[in-house]
Structure 1
């Protein structure tokens, strides 16, 4: 199992020590480093800025929100970063949710699966640069239909370094996971648990079996963000993670549409997820954090003494996950890497 480093979202400003952590990850032999975006910092700029200090490690977005940019714009950024990094770029995409898409981008959120399919197809056409890019989909038309009539199919002026750039899809529901296996080169799960491996394995296999699927399980990447905390006290370690879980389960989405809540409900924590959501949305955030059992943290994280983590890692290695994405500063990476190697 490979290791990657996830910088994560910025809070009020750039994360302190990010460059040191990234160069440390490369020094330690990590396979990849990833940036994120929500409704603050973007994913491409920090990746280019900090990634310029590296020479080997893969540079990925986890994730670029599709509603933030047209597919041709993403194709342009992907080709640009691939050139600047010498062919090390990995494009991670995601549909996000209606709360952000409608509230922040002012865009509709219709049929995310069909829209994702069209989006990825156009990005691949831009990067391949085989012919002028055209599209006649339900969501994207190139040239635009009903405009001035002056638009014409165009081909990127830049020649790609690679005619295919790996595309990974962030997905939580089974249909979206299956779509990642069908049309993409990798899957970016959030809140993965070995207990859910059979569920996700079946969804992936459904995608692999579809006509025209690009991969099989043997050459498909699954890069999962997994909190890892080496600590003698399991309860204290869990306490560091619970506030973020409460935010995602309770507040990252509306009560009626919260994909993160649904992940934990499928995992067997539906009552817990409902309670956390109710408390969080009522403004009782500390109570929401306290409502999360340590068992839920342990199901989706690797925490505790080094020996405990090594034993649990053996279970993770039997799952569909191919890369563990870690977070933390340079000192954390140096402490955790030997435990996982």
Structure 2
């Protein structure tokens, strides 16, 4: 498996030492570096800023939220970054969830799979630049129907560096994973576990088996965000990860719609996920964190002494995952890279 570095999205401000970590990742031979966005920092700007200090490592978004931009605007950013990076850009897209889509962007959330299909189709048309871009869909019309009636089909003034830019899709549910396999070049899973490998293989094969699928499993990328902490005390290492898990399982979504909660339920932790969600939504965040067993952390992370991590890595190497996306500062990346070698 290859290694990637995931910067994530900012909290109160830019993460300290980010540029040093990006440079270290390239020095260590990492394949890729990734940024994200929620409802604060955007994904493109930090990637361009820090990526300018690199020359080899691939630059990806994990993820760009589709509701934040029209597909043509996203394609413009992708074309631009691909040129500036010398063809190193990877466009990672995601639908996000209804709380952010409707609450922050003021866009409708229903039918995310159908909307994603149209979105990706338009982005590919823009990047290919074969002809003026037209699209007559349920969610997007180019040119727009109605309005002034003066809309004109256009193609980008910029000639693409490459006729295609890799597009990865963030997905958690089986239908969305299958869609990634059908129309994209890679999948960006969150909270992947080796014990869920068979489930996801089935979802991917569903997509690969569709008539116009672009890939097979042999040439499809799966870049999974996996916490890796080298530490002599497993319980202490787990304690650093549990608060984030509690946030996603309990608070990243409504009680009736939380895709992260559903991932852990499918993994066999339904009772735990329900309890964490109940406590978290009641404002009892510390109790929600305490309700997460270390076994759940170990199922979705690589934590503990270097020897333990190397032993458990064998399980991950047998899965569909092709790249482990790591987090941390420059020193952490060096320690983890050494532990995984």
State whether TM-score is above 0.5.
yes
Q: Which runs of 5+ in 2 are unaligned?
A: none
Partner in structure 2 of residue 99 of structure 1: 99
Matched, 1:32 2:35: no
Take 2:181 and 2:253, find their aligned partners in 1: how far apart are those partners?
25
Take 1:152 and 1:9, find their aligned partners in 2: how far apart are those partners?
36
Matched residue pairs, number? 341
Take 2:109 and 2:145, find their aligned partners in 1: how far apart are those partners?
20
Q: How far did residue 209 of structure 1 move? A: 0.5
Partner in structure 2 of residue 149 of structure 1: 149
Matched, 1:108 2:105: no
Matched, 1:262 2:262: yes
Q: How far did residue 146 of structure 1 move? A: 1.2
Q: Which runs of 5+ in 1 are unaligned?
A: none
Q: Deviations over 1:162-197 (max 9, x none)?
A: 010000000000000000000000000000000000
Take 1:156 and 1:305, find their aligned partners in 2: how far apart are those partners?
52
Matched, 1:314 2:329: no
TM-score (norm 1): 1.00
Take 1:336 and 1:199, find their aligned partners in 2: how far apart are those partners?
28
Q: Secondary structure at the match of 2:146?
A: coil
Take 2:206 and 2:284, find their aligned partners in 1: how far apart are those partners?
41
Take 1:146 and 1:288, find their aligned partners in 2: how far apart are those partners?
50
Take 1:12 and 1:152, find their aligned partners in 2: how far apart are those partners?
42
Q: Secondary structure at the match of 2:6?
A: strand
Partner in structure 2 of residue 69 of structure 1: 69
Take 2:98 and 2:123, find their aligned partners in 1: how far apart are those partners?
22
Take 2:147 and 2:218, find their aligned partners in 1: how far apart are those partners?
45
Q: How far did residue 338 of structure 1 move? A: 1.1
Take 2:177 and 2:82, find their aligned partners in 1: how far apart are those partners?
26
Take 2:141 and 2:331, find their aligned partners in 1: how far apart are those partners?
48
Q: How far did residue 212 of structure 1 move? A: 0.8
Q: Secondary structure at the match of 1:175?
A: helix
Partner in structure 1 of residue 289 of structure 2: 289
Equivalences for residues 22-61 of structure 1 within 5 A? 22-61=22-61
RMSD, aligned CA: 0.3
